[in-house]
Structure 1
Amino acid sequence: MIAPIPVIQADIFTTQPFAGNPAAAILDAEHLDEAAMQRIAGEMLVPGTAFVSAPRGADADWRLRMFTPKRPVAYSGHTALCATHALVEAGRVPGARVTFDTPAGRLRVEIARGEGPALMWLEPPVPACTVPDHDVVEILDALGLPRAGLAGWARPAATPDGDLLLPVRDLATLRALQPDMSRLAALRSGQKARGVCCVSRETADIGSGTHCRFFAPHYGLPEDIVTGSVHSPMAVWLLEAGALDVRGDRALFTAEQGDGLGRPGRLRVEVTTATGRATRVRVGGRAVTVLHGSLTPRP
């Protein structure tokens, strides 16, 4: 008989159970190959499942693989935070920092402990946003987003992860979107791209900086609840558009996502600048455990 596999499930970018984005984490995953990881991610059926194992080199503390229910991903912010949360909860991060070896490169997470859940800061490489290499008109049609619903404070942009950033006029327009998921999946798959992130600067909470919705149906995520990975390029995009309140050399804001799905999530986003350009981007969030259990692959 194969030994049961311990698993933790947590809600990320929240301190309240049943809010934020759910993810799962499996520690000591050295015995699992990629096919087994994908099967387990499909069984967990949460937006992201993390598999943590021993590192391959001395420049990382752990190796991290991340999967949606349908496919592996090089980087998923909320899944990486779930892995960090699981390690911290298990007492396996003695200091204030952990470094992961991921398919996207080295990922450092800083951990600020205190009363309540730790605030975990993702610090990926500073991303560069570019002009999309395809016409966005068909994407707008698939989203059900009228041309008048686009805002003028920024131009559509592509991220290094293959996401499309779209500025939306207001919160009502954002909430009203009802994408044709089949059409959107076909378009983004054909473009060899990932998701579409629609961003409003009008927010649900007073004092927040952004409210967004993220769609990636061909990745098994018709609408993602809270997307950590898209917020670092989003921050650079906002900075370059002059849409951030920069004080000194830093901008710090709260980002909202997931409210329309009944699972509100809140992220802290920090951008450090020099001569008007981003030199450092951090995306922070907290997590709460909702399940401890074990998987039995087969008798």
Structure 2
Amino acid sequence: MSRLEIFQVDAFTPHPFGGNPAGVVPNAEGLTDEQMRRIAAEMNVAETAFVTPTTCAGADLRLRWFTPTGQEVTFCGHATVATVHLLVETGRVSGDRLVFDTLGGALPVTITPSADGHVIWLEPALPTCSPYHEVLAPILDALGLSLDGLGSWAQPALTPERDLLVPATRLDVLKSLAPDMQRLARLGLDRGIRGFCLTSREPLDPDSLTHSRFFAPHYGIPEDPVTGSVHASLAVWLWQAGLLSVRGGPAAFQAEQGDLLGRPGRLRVELHMAAGRPVRVRVGGQAVTVLSGTIRVE
């Protein structure tokens, strides 16, 4: 039996007990896939991140993410922000840039100083958002969303991670959602949808552009407090709908999520353009370590 250091870090917030909590195992070399799954189940947060050495050319470290129900995901934004924060805090990373080797490919990260610490910027591959043409009614019903609450400012779309983006008319619609998690889980499994993201252009914070809620009950995540990965696609989706100004530099905005769960999170999002088309997307945020300890592994 061995003991490993393990941490819980709240991401997309500078304050403890806000944002989205992630488990982080910074020295996971030698763990089997099954051990990682059991640790993720024990932590029982949306994702737990595992850092190991890599043999991939151009990458600094290998990073893997598991949900409480044992699924390995291709990209997890908040657990990456949490991991980088911890690596910086413990002195394992001293530069301003690193590249992770992940299941979804190379993931570059940039670290910039801020007045109250640092901001961690993720630069995933530029996503595409494909129109969703299947019947929405069963999904809306399972979410507790009426047709009157379905926004017309964008078309429902699927992201590369197979998250379904759904526009809402206003913030009150998001507040009143009461999803039937069992039905939503069945629909997710039947239709190959990872998560359901509902977004309003009416935020709580006047500095924000959007407010979102994200549900993935079939992944052991009834509601995700703050979802970094989906906001990369959200930027492209908003641009496709003509809702982002791209004059004079990247389209930059603040997004919010988690407030309705009592865990306010704030994300910085940038969409960089060339010749009138998106070429890069970045999602950034802060984090804070809230728990440290050791875990026994058999």
Is the structural similarity TM-score above 0.5? yes
Deviation at 1:182, TM superposition (A): 0.4
Aligned to 1:112: 112
Mapped to 1, the partners of 2:94 and 2:138 lie a distance apart of 50
| Alignment partners' CA distance in 2, 1:246 and 1:175 | 30
- Alpha-carbon displacement from aligned partner over 1:104-155 (angstroms, at most 9, x marks no partner): 0000110002442210000001100001252222111111111111111111
TM-score if structure 1 supplies the norm length?
A: 0.97
Q: Name 1:59's counterpart in structure 2.
A: 58
What is the match of residue 42 of structure 2?
43
* Residue of structure 1 in register with 2:186 after alignment: 186
Q: How far apart in 1 are the matches of 2:62 and 2:37? A: 16
> How much does 1:246 deviate?
2.5
Q: What is residue 296 of structure 1 aligned with on the other side?
A: 296
**Once the 2 structures are TM-superposed, how far is the Cα of residue 277 of structure 1 from its aligned partner?**
2.0
Question: What is the number of residues matched between the two proteins?
Answer: 297
- Residue number in structure 1 paired with 2:19: 20
> Alignment partner of 2:208: what SS?
coil
Separation in 1, partners of 2:172, 2:259: 13
Which residue matches 1:30?
29
Query: Per the alignment, in what secondary structure is the counterpart of residue 107 of structure 1?
Result: strand
In structure 2, how many angstroms separate the alpha carbons of the residues matched to 1:129 and 1:232?
A: 10
Q: Please state if 1:153 is matched with 2:163.
A: no
Q: 1:234-273 counterparts in 2 under 5 A?
A: 234-273=234-273
Q: Which runs of 5+ in 1 are unaligned?
A: none
SS of the residue 2:117 aligns to? coil
Paired residue secondary structure (2:297): coil
Query: In the alignment, residue 195 of structure 1 is paired with which amino acid?
Result: G
Q: Which moved more, 1:106-115 or 1:210-219?
A: 106-115
CA distance in 2, matches of 1:46, 1:192: 22
d(CA) in 1 for partners of 2:106, 2:15: 30
Are 1:225 and 1:257, in contact at CA under 8 Å, matched by a contact in 2? yes
Number of the residue aligned with 2:132:
132
Q: 1:142 — aligned with what?
A: 142
d(CA) in 1 for partners of 2:184, 2:82: 28
Q: Tell whether the 8 Å contact from 1:240 to 1:277 is kept in structure 2 after alignment.
A: no
Contact 1:249 1:274 in 2 (8 A): no
Q: 2:37 is matched by which residue type in structure 1?
A: Q
Native 8 Å contact 1:166 1:197 kept in 2: yes
Q: TM-score, normalised by structure 2?
A: 0.97
Contact 1:41 1:48 in 2 (8 A): yes
Is this contact kept in 2: 1:117–1:288, CA < 8 A? no
Q: What amino acid does structure 2 have at the position aligned with 1:6?
A: E
Secondary structure of the 1:73 match is: coil
Q: How far apart in 2 are the matches of 1:111 and 1:35? A: 32
Corresponding residue for 1:207?
A: 207
2:34 is paired with a residue of what secondary structure?
A: helix
- In the alignment, what sits opposite 2:287? 287
RMSD of aligned alpha carbons = 1.1
Question: What residue is the counterpart of 1:197 in the other structure?
Answer: 197
- Give the structure 1 partner of residue 5 of structure 2: 6
Query: How far 1:41 moved relative to its partner?
Result: 0.3
Asked if 1:278 corresponds to 2:250, the answer is: no
Return the letter of the residue paired with 1:170: R
Instruction: Name the CA distance, whole Å, in 1 between partners of 2:200 and 2:58.
Output: 39
What's the secondary structure of 1:185's corresponding residue? helix
Amino acid at match of 2:276: G
Unaligned runs of 5+ in 2: none
Larger mean CA deviation between 112-121 and 278-287 belongs to 112-121
Q: Alignment partner of 1:268: what SS?
A: strand
Displacement after TM superposition at 1:92 (Å): 1.5
Q: Letter of the aligned partner of 1:21 in structure 2? A: N
In 2, Cα distance between equivalents of 1:201 and 1:114: 27
Give the distance between the partners of 2:95 and 2:62, measured in 1 at CA. 18
| Deviation larger for 278-287 or 133-142 | 133-142
Instruction: Identify the residue that residue 95 of structure 2 maps to in structure 1.
Output: 95
- State which drifts further: 274-283 or 165-174: 274-283
Describe the superposition over 1:236-281 as per-residue Cα deviations: whole angstroms up to 9, x where unpaired.
Answer: 0001101113232321111000011000000000111124321111
